[in-house]
Chains A and B, each alone.
Chain A
């Protein structure tokens, strides 16, 4: 069925290090893969997204890669800062309509 697996569930890095979060999706027809950052008590905030016709996308310190063959996509954060600390969710669209299937979340902690 429709499923998105996300790893790791928690990630702790030192300020300035890189962080990588990985997701795997099950529906080969998925064509859109957003990443959301959710701080405690706040809304999920769209930080970057990628469509299935693109292999990589970068926005300043954040990048996302997509491997359609393996049905994997990853979030890369470089030069991490304490304000990057939050829960990050990956998601994959279902080809019909705007349904997003979310991963379980990764709690990122950036230690100063």
Chain B
């Protein structure tokens, strides 16, 4: 079975642009979470979605938004990109999204802002 898949793998943007990152969860998983990982740090929670509804939001500005589709795939959108948005963006899926469920990560999208 395929694991969590993310696209694109790498992306280079300039300040002020917007970006859309995509994630497909493990088959059968209904919850997707997004994390930002800056070099040398642990992942930071951005959003969680379950059954197309937002279940949680981390401490990120409104420039960050996300949604989940009927097939449980998800998109993360970031507007008005800043240099500080350069990071590895990770998607994780779990079956129900409950707090005691394992989350499995994709390979991430490495976003570089010039």
Interface residues of A, Cβ cutoff 8 Å to B: 4, 6, 30-32, 34, 36, 42-46, 49, 51-52, 89, 91, 93-105
Minimal Cβ-Cβ distance residue in A for B3: A43
Is residue B8 contacting chain A, with contact meaning CB distance below 8 A?
no
Given A43-B108, A44-B105, A96-B56, also A102-B44 (CB < 8 A): yes
Of the listed stretches B62-70, B74-82, B91-99, name the one at the interface; the rest are far from the partner chain. B91-99
Contact with A along B69-113 (1 / 0, CB 8 A): 000000000000000000000100010011111111111100000
What residues of B have a CB within 8 angstroms of the CB of A34 in the complex? 102-103
Residues of B8-54 at the interface with A, using a CB-CB cut-off of 8 Å, are 31, 33, 35, 40-45, 48, 50
Taking a contact as CB atoms under 8 Å apart, the answer to whether A98 and B41 are in contact is no
Taking a contact as CB atoms under 8 Å apart, the answer to whether A46 and B103 are in contact is yes
Taking a contact as CB atoms under 8 Å apart, the answer to whether B100 and A102 are in contact is no
Q: How many A-B residue pairs have CB under 8 A?
A: 78
Partner of A98, one of B33, B42, B43, B107: B33
Indicate the size class of the contact surface on chain B. 20 to 34
User: Can you report 12 residue pairs joining A to B where beta carbons are below 8 Å apart?
Assistant: A30-B99, A31-B100, A34-B103, A46-B103, A46-B104, A46-B105, A91-B42, A97-B50, A97-B97, A98-B31, A98-B98, A98-B99
Given A44-B90, A94-B99, also A99-B105 (CB < 8 A): no
In whole angstroms, how far apart are the Cα atoms of A43 and B92 in the complex?
A: 10
Taking a contact as CB atoms under 8 Å apart, the answer to whether B56 and A97 are in contact is yes
Partner of A43, one of B42, B45, B56, B105: B105
What residues of B have a CB within 8 angstroms of the CB of A42 in the complex? 107
Q: Identify 20 new A-B residue pairs, CB closer than 8 A, beyond the known A94-B56, A100-B35, A102-B43.
A: A34-B102, A34-B103, A36-B105, A43-B106, A43-B107, A44-B90, A91-B42, A93-B99, A93-B100, A95-B99, A97-B50, A97-B55, A98-B33, A98-B55, A98-B99, A99-B45, A103-B42, A104-B41, A105-B40, A105-B41
Taking a contact as CB atoms under 8 Å apart, the answer to whether B90 and A32 are in contact is no
Taking a contact as CB atoms under 8 Å apart, the answer to whether B100 and A44 are in contact is no
